[in-house]
Copies of this chain bind each other. A is one copy, B any other.
């Protein structure tokens, strides 16, 4: 088993950051050829997701679409004012589980793994565990 903690800096309130290379590198370092990689976000206003990594417009539309799905309501109770980001975090989910085969993540041709920021800019962390 192998565990790695990675850090990143986000630059906007909402941002999709491609972390596929980080996962690939962690799998290589783990020397595990056949198993699973779990990518976990320890924050409650961010998430991990898998989506298209070819056309950056998909990320732009994703951010806009999600804003319209989970908008900020003026009368949300949480004093920090980021309840919409907490909801997005649960909608998208704290982790992704990826199959590892031949020392690489099994991903579709257009798939990338993303750290999704919903309350940035901030310094953030995520974990990769390979088993």
Contact = CB atoms under 8 A, between A and B. Distances in A.
A98 B40 CA distance: 8
A6 interface: no
A123 interface: no
Contact of A111 (B44, B65, B111): B44
Interface string A35-54: 11010111110000111100
B131 A52 contact: no
Contacts of A90: 49-51, 62, 92
B91 A91 contact: yes
Copies of this chain held together in the complex = 3
Contacts of A36: 38, 129, 131
Interface residues of A, number: 58
Contacts of A69: 69-70, 87, 91
A112 B26 CA distance: 26
Contacts of A22: none
Interface in A96-130: 96-99, 101, 106-111, 127, 129
Interface of A: 1, 3, 34-36, 38, 40-44, 49-52, 55, 57-58, 60-62, 64-66, 68-70, 73, 76-80, 83-84, 86-87, 89-99, 101, 106-111, 127, 129, 131
